[in-house]
Amino acid sequence: MDASELRRVLADVPGWLGDEEALALYEAARTCTGRGAIVEIGSWRGRSTICLALGSKDGPGVPVVAIDRHTDKTFVDFQENIRRAGIADLVRPIRATSDEAFTEFDEPIELIFIDASHKYDDVRRDFDQWVPLVVEGGTVAMHDTTWEGSKLVSEEAIYGSRHFKDVRFVPSSTTVGVKVASVTARDRRQSQRALLAKWTAELGMRVSRFLPKRVIRLGRRTISSVGGR
């Protein structure tokens, strides 16, 4: 599935996940090897869930555990959106908070996407509880890492960590890293470049209303290049 096809599938699904972020989640799920589950914390109406499940469908075919406490309305919309995307059989929704779900969860994880509460203490707790379940070589992705608690936790626990390699920033706000036992000097330099790309994106968001669209597009391409592998 290419970017244009994924964009078409997501066209009527609300959410704040951009095209580049959607493709990054799809590819991360597609390249999983089946060593653990795919977990997302925070599903809302299923936009990110669909990306993860479509990637798994085209890859290892492992279930996507979608954790969200939901309202009755969002859960109905979530179910309808994943049904229309044709991936309901791969999605295992859990209507609970992250803390509640964690007490019942005992599986290894190969890919986790953290996008629940953005308050610092909540994000830190999600990270500290769930990431130890990620297998070595597994992927951790966080959304909205340009603001609030998600920004601080990503900078402390991924960009500044010696246990994540291939760290990259995906515009407009997603951070991705591969969990490892230790990193090389080259890995650390890549993390620093990715952090610089994220900071540049944050600055760009503050001044974007003053810039022509062509400048914004060029900036996004540049940030993706600097923040990528």
- Three-class secondary structure assignment of the chain: CCHHHHHHHHCCCCCCCCHHHHHHHHHHHHCCCCCCEEEEECCCCCHHHHHHHHHHHCCCCCCEEEECCCCHHHHHHHHHHHHHCCCHHHEEEECCCHHHHHHHCCCCEEEEEECCCCCHHHHHHHHHHHHHHEEEEEEEEECCCCCHHHHHHHHHHHHCCCCEEEEEEECCCEEEEEECCCCCHHHHHHHHHHHHHHHHHHHHHHHHHHCCHHHHHHHHHHHHHHHCC
pLDDT in tens, 145-191: 999 999 999 999 999 999 999 999 999 899 999 999 999 999 999 99
Q: What's residue 212's pLDDT?
A: 72
Write the pLDDT tens digit of every residue in 44-97. 999 999 999 999 999 999 999 999 999 999 999 999 999 999 999 999 999 999
pLDDT of the residue at 189: 96
Tell me the pLDDT tens digit for each residue of 28-45.
Answer: 999 999 999 999 999 999
CATH class of domain segment(s) 3-227:
alpha beta
Q: In the predicted model, what is the mean pLDDT of residues 190-207?
A: 88
**Residue 43: what pLDDT?**
97
Query: Would the CA dihedral through 118, 148, 224, 213 be positive or negative?
Result: positive
Grade residue 112 by pLDDT with cuts at 50, 70 and 90. Answer: very high
Residue 143: how many CA atoms within 13 Å on its side-chain side? Answer: 22
Average pLDDT, the chain: 92
How far is it, in rounded angstroms, from Cα 199 to Cα 203?
Answer: 6
The pLDDT-based confidence of 197 (bands split at 50, 70, 90) is very high
* Position 111 confidence tier, pLDDT thresholds 50, 70, 90: very high
Under the banding of pLDDT at 50, 70 and 90, the label for residue 210 is: low
Q: Please answer whether residues 27 and 1 qualify as being in contact, where contact means their C-beta atoms are separated by less than 8 angstroms.
A: no
Residue ranges of domains in the chain:
3-227
